[in-house]
């Protein structure tokens, strides 16, 4: 079974309700296997602490429990330093490189960041941003 890759811009929709949250939750029902770079832990917990109280942090930790994380490796870092179009910030490049490193196992990449979405499409990935 193929997995859905989630980046931080998508994951935050699960910890802080936004306009896209309901559509995103519905879309995830088709993807019981969800993966992300291990850096998602820091992104998610730091974001939860920045935007809310203990309830937001608890939601973040619960969401993280359901996501399989992919360890950072020198291969992923090497991929992340490649030239992407459009150019990406470091964390976005790591998310794209991680998803590319497991391309055969990824059915969709969920991302609400415009540049990362465009770069994922340019790399032939099935990028989605349910609204």
Structure letter (DSSP) for residue 1: -
The arithmetic mean of pLDDT across residues 24-52, rounded, is 95
Domain with residue 7: its CATH number is: 3.40.50.1010
Question: What are the tens digits of pLDDT across the range 67-79?
Answer: 999 999 999 999 9
The pLDDT value recorded for residue 112 is 93
pTM of the shown model: 0.94
Label residue 52 by pLDDT band (50, 70, 90): confident
CA dist 95 → 10, 39, 55, 58, 120 (Å): 12, 9, 27, 24, 10
Count of structural domains, the chain:
1
Predicted confidence (pLDDT) at residue 131 exceeds the cutoff of 90 = no
* Domain that residue 76 falls in: 3-128
Q: Where are the alpha helices (DSSP H) in 3-73?
A: 8-15, 21-28, 40-51, 54-65
What are the pLDDT digits (tens) for 1-36?
A: 899 999 999 999 999 989 999 999 999 999 999 999
């Amino acid at each position: 079974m193929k997995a859905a890759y989630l980046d931080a811009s998508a994951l935050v929709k699960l910890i802080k309700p936004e306009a896209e949250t309901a559509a995103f939750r519905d879309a995830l029902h088709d993807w019981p296997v969800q993966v992300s770079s291990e850096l998602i832990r820091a992104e998610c917990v730091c974001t939860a602490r920045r935007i809310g109280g203990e309830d937001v942090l608890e939601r973040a930790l619960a969401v993280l429990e359901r996501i399989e994380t992919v360890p950072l490796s020198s291969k992923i870092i090497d991929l992340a330093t490649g030239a992407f179009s459009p150019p990406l910030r470091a964390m976005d490049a790591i998310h794209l490189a991680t998803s590319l490193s497991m391309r055969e196992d990824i059915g969709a990449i969920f991302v609400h960041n415009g540049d990362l979405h465009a770069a994922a499409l340019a790399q032939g990935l099935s990028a989605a941003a349910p609204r």
